[in-house]
Amino acid sequence: MNLFKAELRRIVRRRLSLIFGILALAGVVVLSGFIWAISSQGPSEAELAEAQEMADDWNMENPDYVDCIGEEDYFEDNEFYEWALTDPEYEELSHQERCEAYVGGSRASDYVWTYTFDFESEGPSMLLGVVIVAGLIMMMLASSAIGAEWSSGGMSNLMVWHPNRMQVWGAKLGAALALCAVAMIALAALAFGLLFLTAAVRGEVGTLDGPWWEETLEVLLRTGVLALGMTTLGASLAMLGRHTAIAGGVIAGYLIIGDLIVQMASMAMPMPFPERLSLYTWVIAWISGRIELTDWSDMGMNPDVMVITWGDAGLLLGGIVLLFGALATWSFHRRDAA
Amino acid sequence: MPPIIEIQGLRKTYRRSFRQPHNALDGLDLEVAAGQVHGFLGPNGSGKTTTLRALLGLIRVDGGTMRIFGEEVPQRLPQVVSRIGAVVESPQFFKHFSGRLTLQLLAESAGVPKDRVEAVLEQVGLRDAAKASVKGYSLGMRQRLAVAQALLKQPQLLILDEPANGLDPAGIHHMRELLQWLAHEQGVTVVVSSHLLSEVQQLCDSMTIVSRGRRIVDGSVAEIIAGHSGASLSVRFPDAASLPEAAEALTAAKPTVGAVVERDRLVVTGAPEAAWVTQTLAEAGIYLSELVTQTKNLESVFLELTGTAPAPGQTVQIGQSVAVPETAAPIEVPVTVANEAEEAQR
């Protein structure tokens, strides 16, 4: 426990942790501030009147629209618009609305440039983004903390004090995961508070009912687990490579080149659902709960569909993290401390 | 009292792809008695640091046994590590942490009381620099910090790899006094690996010299120096013309005595004692003006034992030290000359 607390303190006191922490907090504040600045609770009466005037001016210059407005049987009499009569919504629209919809008349809404932030529909994806960024940051911090100790000789120093290597590895990984969890919860709570306040003052909160909470927390929980997995992966790669740059290189290499190669190979190989070769597909399936891949290769009307659920994705992603974690553990246990 | 450190037949081979395996340790033996400052010497690449790293569980060995405080290591290292303080190779720290925070983290990790941090900072002379980040520390200050962290646990065994590295003369003097105080007043056993032979000669009570991963010699420093100094006498005369005559007189009186003329002096070896030389020369009617007993220092003994004495125009390469036959026993050191050698050391 002492070692865990010391490792937690060591990682928190690192300058990189401070820089990343400030950047993450600033990022959340800037995001909320930006939404605060661009969001409003709908146009004012004056803005609506001005927009309507602009739409009317534009429509008066459109001869087709003028003809449409002037003739009640415009669509029945005009063979070019027979298709509109088959539209299910046709009967529900007033004549003016039909002219606007099918002939191309302008509406007031076309000239109202307002954005209303809707917390109910947009909030979860923003919170999810914040948690993913927290996970990426912790992946870098964890790999940096372990890599820097190896490259500086600090790891040997620590092992002279704590010869039980598994205890050292457990404390370091545990400290990184604990910090990751705290950072995610803190950032997500801050983002939730600021975005909720923004929505309440400058937008719409919407209905945050039971199903909304259930779905949002489910997605955030899975994203949080993903972030913890990323932290474990970063720490494991640094432990294997014994250098921050090796961990960073492997991750960046996969994200940039590795996935590109996978996509090129999938295009070259005649195989159904080539997207499944990309890790991104599985990450999306894990976060969103399920993903459907469609195989159009036979050009048929009933293409094959492959469903990847969060359970499938969890098995694959968890397997990858476990594999690297086990390799790092074995390597640390067996290899000489250079 | 059983030795604090016992190593027998330690072997470590580094196997590298497409290259010959390298035997860093080739059956090394080492014993360190309690309450002593023990020097661990050897040329570069002779296996000193490898031995210390193996002892501290940082590397695996291919054979041999190691015991600390009678416990087999590395298996029982967790049980004895709280009694060991160590610095292996050049110490490195997080650059942006202060000296105090560096020590606090280590102390916290092992449950060492916080007041020990201030105590060791004071002990190594870093009290006023404790707040500064390690980035601004000189090599000597980092060395002091490393020693401070080794002292944190109030160890009964202190293992220091090149502790004087980077220290200024005052720092070396302070370190010597500190280590001797720890060993002789506090009963701490100190093992020091160093290349500063004059420092080892002043600091250590006993020592082990290794070459190519094997022990060449061990024993008290004074005994080893004395044992390899021989009974060499330097004799000068008022008239240099007397040199050949004196050499002849000595060798005639005792055929086993060697007498070689070197410039303006006569170097006599194998004489029973200095008085015999003066008496024999006086009986031959030759009167000397100076007679000095020649004593070697640790450096010359080390160079002789390890075979690393440089020849004019040649550079000694790494690993070009003397090879010890596998069956060779450590060089025996005559005990009778101890007092004389200790005096010479002083």
**Amino acid type, A13:** R
Residue at B300 is within a domain: no
Residue at B334 is within a domain: no
The C-alpha of A178 sits at a distance from chain B's nearest C-alpha, in angstroms, of 17
**Amino acid type, A312:** D
Please judge whether B108 and A9 are an interchain contact, meaning their C-beta atoms are less than 8 angstroms apart. yes
Contact call for residues B68 and B84 (beta carbons, < 8 A): yes
Between positions 222 and 281 of B, the ones with CB within 8 A of A are none
pLDDT of residue A299: 67
Between positions 7 and 26 of A, the ones with CB within 8 A of B are 7, 9-10, 13-15
Residue at B321 is within a domain: no
pLDDT of residue B333: 47
The C-alpha of A166 sits at a distance from chain B's nearest C-alpha, in angstroms, of 12
Please judge whether B58 and A160 are an interchain contact, meaning their C-beta atoms are less than 8 angstroms apart. yes
The C-alpha of A326 sits at a distance from chain B's nearest C-alpha, in angstroms, of 20
Residue at B287 is within a domain: yes
What is the DSSP code string of A122-135? HHHHHHHHHHHHHH
* B16 in A contact zone (CB under 8 Å): no
* A153 in B contact zone (CB under 8 Å): yes
* A337 in B contact zone (CB under 8 Å): yes
- Site from A161, A165, A172, A335 to mutate, B interface, most B CB atoms within 10 angstroms: A161
pLDDT tens-place string over residues A301-332: 778 889 999 999 999 999 999 999 999 999 99
User: What strand order describes the sheet that includes B258-262?
Assistant: B258-262, B265-269, B232-236, B290-294
Between positions 36 and 95 of B, the ones with CB within 8 A of A are 53, 56-60, 74, 77-78, 81, 84, 86, 88-94
How many other CB atoms are there within 10 angstroms of residue B239's CB atom? 10
Q: Which residues of chain B have pLDDT under 50?
A: 332-346
Q: Are residues B45 and B21 in the same domain?
A: yes
Residue at B316 is within a domain: no
Dihedral sign computed on CA atoms, order B332, B337, B338, B343: negative
Domain end (from B200, B226, B252): B226
Residue whose C-alpha is closest to residue B32's, from B266, B218, B267: B218
pLDDT tens-place string over residues B168-192: 888 888 888 888 888 888 889 999 9
Closest partner residue to A160 among B56, B94, B111, by Cβ? B56
Closest partner residue to B92 among A13, A152, A159, by Cβ? A152
Angle at A212 between CA A208 and CA A213, to 5 degrees: 85
**The domain spanning residue B250 has which CATH number?**
3.30.70.270
Expressed as residue numbers, the domain containing B83 is 5-226
Q: Are residues B219 and B274 in the same domain?
A: no
Residue at B156 is within a domain: yes
Of residues A91 and A144, more confidence is placed in A144
- Complex-level ipTM: 0.73
Closest partner residue to B88 among A6, A156, A162, by Cβ? A156
pLDDT tens-place string over residues A259-287: 788 778 777 777 788 888 888 889 999 99
- Alpha-carbon distance of A228 to A226, in angstroms, equals 5
Please judge whether A160 and B74 are an interchain contact, meaning their C-beta atoms are less than 8 angstroms apart. no
Residue at B314 is within a domain: no
Q: List the domain boundaries for chain A.
A: 2-40+118-267, 45-111
Residues of B in contact with A337 (CB under 8 A): 53, 58-59
* A3 in B contact zone (CB under 8 Å): yes
Domain end (from B251, B273, B294): B294
pLDDT of residue B340: 42
pLDDT of residue B229: 63
pLDDT of residue A114: 81
The C-alpha of B202 sits at a distance from chain A's nearest C-alpha, in angstroms, of 28
**Residue written as tokens 């209905």?**
A207
Domain end (from B294, B314, B332): B294
Please judge whether A15 and B106 are an interchain contact, meaning their C-beta atoms are less than 8 angstroms apart. no
Domain count, chain B: 2
pLDDT of residue B336: 37
Alpha-carbon distances of A272 from A265, A283, A292, A317, rounded to whole Å: 13, 19, 13, 21
Q: What percent of chain A has pLDDT over 70?
A: 99
Please judge whether A163 and B81 are an interchain contact, meaning their C-beta atoms are less than 8 angstroms apart. yes
The C-alpha of B147 sits at a distance from chain A's nearest C-alpha, in angstroms, of 12
Please judge whether A2 and B109 are an interchain contact, meaning their C-beta atoms are less than 8 angstroms apart. yes
Q: Are residues B217 and B250 in the same domain?
A: no
Closest partner residue to A153 among B84, B92, B97, by Cβ? B92
* B33 in A contact zone (CB under 8 Å): no
- Tell me the mean pLDDT in the region A26-38: 94
- Tell me the mean pLDDT in the region A67-93: 83
**The domain spanning residue B42 has which CATH number?**
3.40.50.300
pLDDT of residue A185: 94
Q: Are residues B272 and B130 in the same domain?
A: no
pLDDT of residue A225: 96
Please judge whether B81 and A162 are an interchain contact, meaning their C-beta atoms are less than 8 angstroms apart. yes
| Radius of gyration (C-alpha) of chain B in whole angstroms | 24
Please judge whether A160 and B78 are an interchain contact, meaning their C-beta atoms are less than 8 angstroms apart. no
The C-alpha of B307 sits at a distance from chain A's nearest C-alpha, in angstroms, of 29
Contact call for residues B44 and B230 (beta carbons, < 8 A): no
What is the DSSP pairing of strand B157-161 with strand B189-193? parallel
Q: Are residues B46 and B189 in the same domain?
A: yes
Residue at B338 is within a domain: no
Backbone angles phi, psi at A296, to 5 degrees: -100, 10
- Site from B49, B76, B109, B154 to mutate, A interface, most A CB atoms within 10 angstroms: B109
- Tell me the mean pLDDT in the region A201-218: 91
pTM of the model: 0.76
pLDDT of residue B121: 93
What is the DSSP code string of A84-134? HHT-TTGGGS-HHHHIIIII----GGGG---B--BHHHHHHHHHHHHHHHH
Residue whose C-alpha is closest to residue B324's, from B208, B160, B165: B208
Between positions 88 and 117 of B, the ones with CB within 8 A of A are 88-94, 96-97, 101, 105-106, 108-111
Q: Are residues B149 and B119 in the same domain?
A: yes
Q: Are residues B151 and B263 in the same domain?
A: no
Closest partner residue to B58 among A7, A152, A156, by Cβ? A156
pLDDT of residue B21: 84
